[in-house]
Amino acid sequence: MLGRRVLSSAILIPVVGAAVYAGGLCFSALVALAGLLAGYEYLTMMGHSDLAPSYFFGLLLIALFVADAQWPGLDLLRWGLALVPLAALTVEVFHGNAQGSLGKWALTIAGAVYIGFSISHFVRLRAMEEGMWWVVVALLGTWICDSGAYFVGRAVGKTAFFPQISPKKTWEGAAGGFVSGLVATVLLGRFLLDLAVGWGIVLGVLLVLAATFGDLAESVIKRQAGGKDSGNLIPGHGGMLDRVDSLLFVAPIVYYFASAGKGLLF
């Protein structure tokens, strides 16, 4: 499994790196693709229950979140949030089971917001001044945090960390992820963005906590759906949602940190 994990990473990292460097529509297209694939996996997992959400409206709303971030002047999100939830509820009222209609609708909208709203912040972050470096910090900080947790957990992990949610996670792994993610974020922030060490520590703590809770949040979803992975799209990593779960929480945190700090804190 480790070999497949490394091979998949060796293929994906150059693709992601090229898109981050290119920026613009190229990067937004990659973000949209990741969001739609993750959304499809979420909808499929939830579809195994009696409250099967709508693929059409869920994926449409995810696409609108990303499109609005790419073209903010078009007000696509305002129209989307006004029309898509109402249309989805109308369809459920007329075609769904009366007892499950509201639940299906809620799962559809909640999933689209959870994935689409969160991942669209990468597009907004890339559009900022020095946005490429902020995206690099967010991605590498999260991946190093995840890798630190994975390898430390495998090597010395013994004490269960939230066993009711994710039985294989350990406190030792969480500590390894915290330290590696924090150190990586501080160093990346310092050398790529000239971020003061103090603010780098603040960002690092926020990033690591966001990554951890993002991972746990997806574990809750998978446990409710009765699955181990969100899919098998990426060998050694599971599905797309498994790969971006931490990033869904990290992207908004880094974006609002960078936005608030620009010209004020650093």
The pLDDT value recorded for residue 99 is 66
The pLDDT value recorded for residue 75 is 86
Kindly list the averaged pLDDT for each block of 10 residues, start to end, along the chain of length 266: 71 93 97 97 85 92 97 88 90 72 90 97 96 98 94 88 82 94 98 95 98 93 77 76 96 96 65
Helix/strand/coil percentages in the chain, nearest 5: 80, 0, 20
The pLDDT value recorded for residue 222 is 84
d(C-alpha 78, C-alpha 4), whole Å: 42
User: Has this prediction a pTM greater than 0.85?
Assistant: yes
Cα dist. 161→145, 166, 254 in Å?
Answer: 16, 7, 25
The pLDDT value recorded for residue 48 is 75
The pLDDT value recorded for residue 3 is 66
Which residue is listed with tokens 């160093």? 187
The pLDDT value recorded for residue 265 is 60
DSSP helix/strand/coil, 234:
strand
The three-point CA angle 253-111-161 to 5° equals 60
